[in-house]
Structure 1
Amino acid sequence: MRIAIVTESFLPTLNGVTTSVCRVLDCLRAAGHDALVICPGPAPASYAGFPVHTVMGVTLRQFRVGLPSYGIEKILKDFRPDVVHAASPFGLGARGLAAARNLRIPAVAIYQTDMPSYLKQHGGPAGGFVEKASWRWIRHMHTLADLTLVPSTQTLSELRGHGVPRTALWRRGVDTEMFDPARREESAVQDLREMLAPAGETIVGYVGRLAPEKEVRRLAEVADLPGVSLCIVGDGPSRASLERLLPKASFLGYRSGLPLAQAYAALDVFAHTGTKETFGQTLQEAMAAGLPVVAPAAGGPLDIVKPGVTGLLFDPDHDGALRQAVGGLVADGSMRDRMGTAARAKVADRSWMSLVEELIAYYDTVISPSWSTRSPAAA
């Protein structure tokens, strides 16, 4: 199969969209498919042996944003894909979907970023208007796709409620070999634990982008819990303000690959803070590492965390709820061990390869001559 991936974000920018696209490309290569990538420049000339085509981009709030280009149609004509995959489309991806429609190429859109909430948060006094306008744009844009895949049942319900047609569920994979409880015995992890908790404290950690929409400020609730060492992995525009808010926390900066896996392995409890997540990939990574997880009872985490089994959900509208949930785990080591074991078991079969096999099945669906964008089959 020949797949053209039009993505709003790609290397060297590192975020959830980039990571998902790279893992999909890795699996497509392993399965013997052919692909190309269209993304904002600058970017590497190839990835996993697949060519990467760039379009002009601009930087907004530390994000590289691709400008819609009619050159996408020429790239698609030359490549002649069986399907176009639009990763988290909004600007560049919308142009990719329109080009696919013009060329009568089946298209699958992957909804990954809660852009309306993001724009509302950063829109100031006009935030409410901007949010409504963005939902109108999203509804229009996704009508161009033959199928829109979403990562959680909560997000699926939200998109359907806003009139987005032809939606289906497609979750995310996790690297259970990279993120593994056995890493806890590695000397590098032991050294990191010694640095973070020299007095044997329970290490509570967060991993992710440090930006207002991630609501990391909520960790102030747990920063002064007795016997807790707070560890924050990641970087972003909010880092300086968070360092002032949480002066006793250890900020490890951005990590990926093995250093990231070792950071997870050094933790005892994983705390997730954002309430607008469409999925919550870091929760899966923490669970694969054998950690009990704490997350808001909102959005994607509702699908990932089984309360009382793999972790705890807290009410994000109730002050002190995060502190209470984390405090309970800090006080009970046996509960941490039990939940961590259950968390690992829950994600053990969520390899990226198995998830990409599901994705390819969705590609086959829209490629099928019997499929129609007017069909209610996936609505």
Structure 2
Amino acid sequence: MDTADLRIALFSGNYNYVRDGANQALNRLVGYLLRQGAQVRVYAPVVDKPAFEPTGQLIGVSALPIPSRSEYRIPLRIGGKARRDLKAFAPNVIHVSSPDPAAHQAVTWARRRGLPVLASVHTRFETYLRYYNMAWGEPIVEAILRRFYRRCDALVAPSESMAQVLREQRMNYDVSIWSRGVDRDIFQPQARSNAWRQAQGIGEGEVAIGFLGRLVMEKGLDVFSDSVDELRRRGVAHKVLVIGEGPARPWFEARLPGASFVGFQQGTDLARAVASMDVLFNPSVTETFGNVTLEAMACGLPVVAAAATGSQSLVDDRISGRLIPPGAIHQFAEALKAYVEDLALRQSHGSAGEARACEFSWDRINQAVADTYVRLIRQKQRGYNITPSTGSN
């Protein structure tokens, strides 16, 4: 068996109705698999006006908007039409990318038919509760996630640091890496534009501290703004450049008076905006990889990030950026101050980050997932019981 023999049923909670790093990675994966001759069917919620056209054939599943976050939807079940399509498609492997009710049903459907299930982990759902004053619920969510992931045959995580977290949480015993790539044709230092910077109110010689990502509280917007406040108290001259959209934008704009908000960007416009920063500040602890970190590194920027999953596998502390304990406002401010005031340091660490970014090729990365599908199918065919117990030990 090789990649061309694969028939993959992919279940996603968000495949294309909101644009984020996870669903863009899934679309890239599907595109790669189709080019290799594999057959893929995607089962996910559909909306009237998605953020972008899906790659491959998309079959809708029943879903409801998430309260207070209506841009996201929870897939509730595999309805009759989707279930009939799934049966007719006759996959030889199931891929689930979010631990939602429809994915639970997909895992059950696969187990009854002796099909292998691969789960990809895209975010640390248990950490989201911290941003809604519900940190007490993290152990409960972790237990729910453990039951789901241990019903799967294997997991893939975007970084070794995230894979290690999953092992420590006893989510599964078979955890491998599905990293992320970066398009070096557009994300490069040469994309920087002084004219564009000036149009955003960033003068020649001013240092722009950048934020890149969806504007939601779980991205660490409070830590970012508190650290910027600390820079102001220390009298460190700088500008703030924010790339992205989201429901927390009004809150973020109020917390960052004088910042340049350029909204959602994509393609060459995004690369230009990222390269036109001077340093990326990524305080989030929810990412499992950190696409924004890799894109900034490819543009030759130093990165100040929380020492959390994802960033720890990309940023070499004091070589290509700084890794700071999550929430450590004064340490974040000190790291940012060093980059603002030292051009040579910015250039040195930025060059090191660019060199590291050269290691990430999308085709090589996506073939690793295809190889995992093939391995799991072969193990099932040989009668190996590779699905762990759903117990907690």
TM over 0.5: yes
Q: Which amino acid aligns with 2:359?
A: D
8 Å Cα contact 1:288/1:348 also seen in 2: yes
The answer on 1:193 being equivalent to 2:201 is: no
Instruction: Tell me how far 1:156 sits from its aligned partner.
Output: 2.2
**Residues 244 and 121 of structure 1: is their aligned pair in 2 closer, same or farther, counting only changes over 3 Å?**
closer
Q: Pairwise mapping of residues 290-305 of structure 1 onto structure 2 (< 5 A)?
A: 290-305=300-315
For 1:74 and 1:104, how far apart are their aligned partners in 2? 18
The answer on 1:8 being equivalent to 2:10 is: no
TM-score (norm 2): 0.87
3-state DSSP of counterpart to 2:262:
strand
Instruction: Tell me how far 1:199 sits from its aligned partner.
Output: 4.5
Q: Which residue of 1 aligns with 2:59?
A: 53
The answer on 1:372 being equivalent to 2:385 is: yes
Percent identity over the alignment? 28
Instruction: Tell me how far 1:114 sits from its aligned partner.
Output: 1.1
Structure 1 window deviating more from structure 2 (229-238 vs 165-174): it is 165-174
Q: Which amino acid aligns with 1:236?
A: G
8 Å Cα contact 1:316/1:322 also seen in 2: no
Cα distance per residue 1:51-88 (max 9 Å; x no partner): 11001222211312222225454332211122111113
Q: Which residue of 1 aligns with 2:98?
A: 88
3-state DSSP of counterpart to 1:47:
coil
3-state DSSP of counterpart to 1:355:
helix
8 Å Cα contact 2:76/2:100 also seen in 1: no
8 Å Cα contact 1:279/1:301 also seen in 2: yes
Q: Pairwise mapping of residues 169-248 of structure 1 onto structure 2 (< 5 A)?
A: 169-170=176-177, 171-184=179-192, 189-196=193-200, 197-220=202-225, 221-222=227-228, 224=232, 226-248=236-258
Q: Which amino acid aligns with 1:351?
A: S
Q: Pairwise mapping of residues 52-201 of structure 1 onto structure 2 (< 5 A)?
A: 52-60=58-66, 61=69, 62-71=71-80, 72-122=82-132, 124=133, 127-128=135-136, 130-170=137-177, 171-184=179-192, 189-196=193-200, 197-201=202-206
Instruction: Tell me how far 1:307 sits from its aligned partner.
Output: 0.9
For 1:13 and 1:304, how far apart are their aligned partners in 2? 25
For 2:267 and 2:247, how far apart are their aligned partners in 1? 22
For 2:345 and 2:116, how far apart are their aligned partners in 1? 48
For 1:96 and 1:216, how far apart are their aligned partners in 2? 35
Structure 1 window deviating more from structure 2 (199-208 vs 148-157): it is 148-157
Q: Which amino acid aligns with 1:195?
A: A
Instruction: Tell me how far 1:46 sits from its aligned partner.
Output: 7.2
- Gaps (5+ residues) in structure 1? none
Q: Which amino acid aligns with 1:40?
A: P
- Gaps (5+ residues) in structure 2? 1-5
Q: Which amino acid aligns with 2:216?
A: A
Q: Which residue of 1 aligns with 2:3?
A: none
Cα distance per residue 1:10-52 (max 9 Å; x no partner): 213112221111111121123222211100122779734x211
Instruction: Tell me how far 1:9 sits from its aligned partner.
Output: 0.4
The answer on 1:327 being equivalent to 2:341 is: no
For 2:278 and 2:329, how far apart are their aligned partners in 1? 23
For 1:100 and 1:119, how far apart are their aligned partners in 2? 31
3-state DSSP of counterpart to 2:284:
coil
Instruction: Tell me how far 1:119 sits from its aligned partner.
Output: 3.5
Structure 1 window deviating more from structure 2 (73-82 vs 327-336): it is 73-82
8 Å Cα contact 1:5/1:84 also seen in 2: yes
8 Å Cα contact 1:174/1:347 also seen in 2: yes
8 Å Cα contact 1:222/1:322 also seen in 2: no
For 1:116 and 1:354, how far apart are their aligned partners in 2? 30
- Aligned CA RMSD, in angstroms, stands at 2.2
Query: Aligned pairs, how many?
Result: 369
Q: Which amino acid aligns with 1:172?
A: R
For 2:340 and 2:130, how far apart are their aligned partners in 1? 35
Instruction: Tell me how far 1:342 sits from its aligned partner.
Output: 1.4
TM-score (norm 1): 0.90
Q: Which residue of 2 aligns with 1:249?
A: 259
